Structure formats: C-alpha cells, structure tokens
Structure 1
Amino acid sequence: MELGTKLKLDLHVHVFEEFLPPSPRAITVGSVERIIEKIKAMGLDGIAVTEHDTKEYGYRVKQIVETKFNNEVIIIPGREVETFSIHYIELDLPWNASTFRFLAHPGYPGEPEQMEMFHGIEIRNAAHNWHINQQQVMDLAAKHNLILLSNSDAHYLRNIGMCYSEISPEDLSVACSLDQNPQS
C-alpha cells in the first residue's frame, strides 16, 4: 500500500448481536467468513470491531482473518467505552501500536466535558444520525483539531458499511502522535 492511500473503513462495528457468542473464543471461522463477505460486498477495505467495554472480540476476529483468510481485509480491534455522559471508541491501530480515540454519536447520551483525549469525532453515524448536530460537530472538530468520521455503528451484518470513512492509516497515526493527554 502506498503512503497516504485512502482506505474505506467502518470504524464502529459490533458483531456480538449477530452471532451471540458467549465469549470471544466462541467466534467461529464461519462467522468471520460472513463478516469478510459483507465487508467486501460493501466495497470496504476493513472494519474496526468495537464491542462495548472489551477489545477481545476484535482481537479474535483479527486473529482468524490473519490465520485463516490471509489478511483479506483489515480488522482493527477496539472497544466502545460508556461513561455517564458519552460513548467513545478506542482503536488499537495495527500499523503503529497507537490508540486512536474518537467521540461516538456525539449528543447521545450527552456532551463531553473535555475533548483533549480525542483524535476524532463522528459526524455521521448510521444508527444515531438523528441527534447529531453536524454544524456543532464541525465546530468542535475545527476547535480541537479532530478528524471527522462517518461510521455505521452496525450491530448486525446487514448494517456494516452503511456509513464509512475514507481515510489513510497515516492520518490516524498522525492524530495519535499529536496526543497531548494519553488515557491508556
């Protein structure tokens, strides 16, 4: 891949509800094959698997893609973190061992008190677009130097790729390198 190549990535995807595995270890090769088929059918280069409060599902899907499917698609392990007033996503970027954080579906359930920990913000979210104030999001992004992202927040295969971002790995990495307040 050439430096600066834009990838089509859906960076906010949940797989648990589709397959109902009792644990990450229960995710099967067949389940991952269906995820890969959907990613390709939508013309995406990859997804981030962002179950609530755990990265283990993402790491399990990534492991299967690496060992059984020769890295046909990009899988970025992550998690959705819920606080009292906000939800945000943490992604473990595979190309530079950094953690990229973005504010998920801003305005639902509330507004963040501090923006310093974020590198990006969703301006579109297929599951929660009804409450996102796009002008407010653009203003926050400009004020805090945040990358604008579009994601599906898919909870079922049929919703993967309904919104996605065209972004280069370098853009995500540079945002992480500017992190003045790491929260890991």
Structure 2
Amino acid sequence: MVLLKCDLHVHTNASRDGESSVEAVLAAVAAAGLDAVAITDHDTTEGSIAALAAQNPGVLIIPGIEVSTKQGHLLVLGTTQVLAPKQDVLTTIAEAKALGAVTIVPHPFHRWRHGVGLRCKEALIAADAVEALNSRYIIGTANQKAAKMAKKYGRPATAGSDAHNCKFVGFGVTEIEAGERSVAAILDAIRAGRVSCTCKKTPLRTYTRQSWDNTVRKVRRRVPQFRHRPRRRIIHRKK
C-alpha cells in the first residue's frame, strides 16, 4: 500500500466562477506537496482534459466534473465525459457508476451551495462517498452534519478544498491508502473506504467575496436588464 495525499475537489477557470488557469492550479498542487488532484469544474470537463494534456511529473490528475443535478451538486471522478445537468441525482449517480466513475456528494448540507443532502438523503447512500470536510465554510456545522451522516450511512468520508482560486488548493486533503500510485487505485480505495481526511478553513473574507461575485454573475445571466441596463433619457421641456 502507498499513502497518497489528494485534493478531490478543485476548480479551474473552466468553471464560470473559477479564478485560476489550469497551469496555475497544477503549480499550486505541486507546491502543496500533493500526490493527486481531482479537477471538478461545474458541468464541464474542459479543465480536466487540459490538465491531463499538461506535463505534470509526479502529480496524478483525476479527471472529473461537478454536476448540477436536480437536487444539487454531485462530484463525479474518473471520467472526462460530461453528464447532463438537471437530472435527478440518483439517475446521475447511476450513469456515473455505469462509466466506472466514483461519485461523491459534496457539501451535502450547505443550504446556500446546492447541498444534495437537504433534498435527497437517498443520494448519501447511493453515492460512493460523502464530502465530510469542505474548506469553504463559516462555522462548520454543515461539515459536522455531513461527517455524522457519512458515519450513519456507512459511507467513506472525504475532504476537498473546493478551491476556486489556486491559492487554496490543498486546504482539504484526503489521504488515501492505495494499492499503487495510479488514478484507478485511488478510485478503488475511495470505494473501499481506505481514506482519512483533514481540512483548514478558506479565509472568510475570500469565501464571502467569491460568493458575492458568484451571486452577481447569476443575477446578470438571469435578469437581462442587469446585463445591459439602458441609461435614462431625460427630456427638458420648455416652460
């Protein structure tokens, strides 16, 4: 067995709310002393494909995606295939497993971040693992509940930085006892529960700023008048 340090939840600028390039993320992975990283951009595998194509001696790239299901977010690791968003989460879990991928329910009880556990507890049982430690938190109660439910349902508990900026890669680390140094061995070890996890908090100032920026982006996408707000025309009438 080999012990591998992995960050299983990282975003690049292939995500709409990601702030760092693939190259910057991979440099941060090496600087953090990680053995492996899962690239999990929102509803796209472009970041994963780019990371796999890059030269990364000593770092294992786990291709992945964070799928926006009907009930919330789901991490799918071990594939470059894009799974359709807005499906029932149990359907997406089944599709991912048919591909040989590993499924992890991220931040399952975070109310403002599409936590699947708030809407479909069956997903916590159906998935391969539960993200018990996510570094983007304020007081940590959602993480505590995720860890409690992972134990209750007998699911492996993982960690992820959920980094949207390369500065925070490695803030959530899952230590994996793998049969060998390979992506396939890492996925098998997660399924078998040969994992332990640690986490440190993303600075609150950064987390709140990123959350606010993301909210503004969503409003601009959904409300056209905020994208191209016309100027008022003022007509001066003669007295």
What interval of TM-score do these two structures reach, taking the shorter chain for normalisation?
0.7 to 0.9
Residue in structure 2 matched with residue 146 of structure 1 by the alignment = 155
Percent of aligned positions with the same letter in both sequences?
A: 28
Decide which of 112, 122, 146 is 1:137's aligned counterpart: 146
Distance 2:109 2:164 in 1: 20
1:61-140 matches, cutoff 5 A: 61-65=51-55, 69=56, 71-92=57-78, 98-108=100-110, 109-110=114-115, 111=118, 112-114=120-122, 115-128=124-137, 130=139, 132-140=141-149
User: Which segments of 5 or more consecutive residues in structure 2 lack a partner in the other structure?
Assistant: 81-98, 179-184, 194-239
- The structure-2 alpha-carbon separation of the partners of 1:145 and 1:59, relative to structure 1 and needing over 3 Å to count, comes to farther
Distance 1:79 1:99 in 2: 11
Distance 1:89 1:167 in 2: 17
TM-score of the two chains, using structure 1 as the length reference: 0.73
Q: Number of matched residues?
A: 158
The C-alpha deviation readout for 1:115-174, integer Å capped at 9, x for no partner, is 343111111111136454445323322333311111100001101111111113446315
Q: CA RMSD in A?
A: 2.7
Residue in structure 1 matched with residue 29 of structure 2 by the alignment = 39
Is contact 1:79-1:89 (8 Å) kept?
yes
**Which sits farther off after the overlay, 37-46 or 129-138?**
129-138
Distance 2:26 2:145 in 1: 35
Tell which has more relative contact order, 1 or 2 (C-alpha 8 A, sep 6+).
1
Residue in structure 1 matched with residue 207 of structure 2 by the alignment = none
Is contact 2:20-2:164 (8 Å) kept?
no
- The structure-2 alpha-carbon separation of the partners of 1:35 and 1:133, relative to structure 1 and needing over 3 Å to count, comes to closer
1:168-183 matches, cutoff 5 A: 168-169=177-178, 170=185, 172-173=187-188, 176=191
- Could you say which structure has the larger radius of gyration? 2
| Runs ≥4 residues deviating over 2 A | 17-20, 34-37, 83-86, 128-140, 142-145, 168-172, 174-178
